Amino acid sequence: MTRALITGITGQDGSYLAEYLLSKGYEVHGVIRRASTFNTGRIDHIYTDPHSPGARFFLHYGDLSDAGQLTDLIYNVKPDEIYHLGAQSHVRVSFDTPEFTGDITGIGTTRLLEAIRRSGIRTRYYQASSSELFGASPPPQSETTPFRPRSPYAAAKLYAYWMTVNYREGYNLFACNGILFNHESPRRGETFVTRKVTRALANILTGKQKRLYLGNIDAKRDWGFAPEYVEMMWLMLRQDEPDDYAVGTGESHSVREMVDTAFAYAGIGLEWKGEGAEEKAVVSSLARHPSTCLKPGDTVIEIDPRYFRPTEVNHLRADISKAKERLRWEPRVTFDELTKTMVDYDLRMAGIEAPCEGIEACRSKGFLYTDHTYSLYERIREGE
Closest listed residue to residue 131, CA positions, set 270, 315, 298, 275: 315
| Segment (H or E) for 4 | strand 3-7
Q: Which of 89, 130, 185, 291 is catalytic?
A: 130
The string of DSSP letters for 56-101 reads: -EEEEE--TT-HHHHHHHHHHH--SEEEE--S---HHHHHHSHHHH
| Segment (H or E) for 301 | strand 299-303
Amino acid in position 269: G
Helices 226-236 & 12-23 angle (0-180, nearest 10): 60
Q: Which of 19, 132, 184, 337 is catalytic?
A: 132
Closest listed residue to residue 232, CA positions, set 8, 20, 2, 7: 20
CA distance 201 to 299: 13
- Asked about 36 being catalytic, the answer comes back as no
Closest listed residue to residue 362, CA positions, set 353, 372, 352, 354: 372
- Asked about 19 being catalytic, the answer comes back as no
Q: Is 99 left (phi over 0), alpha (psi -120 to 50) or beta?
A: alpha
Contact 108, 8 (CB under 8 A): no
Q: Which of 20, 83, 125, 153 is catalytic?
A: 153
Amino acid in position 145: T
Local structure of residue 278 (DSSP, 8 states) = G
CA distance 263 to 256: 11
For the chain, how many residues are written? 384
Burial (CB count <10 Å: 0-12, 13-18, 19+), residue 121: middle
- Asked about 364 being catalytic, the answer comes back as no
Q: Indicate which residues carry an active-site annotation.
A: 130, 132, 153
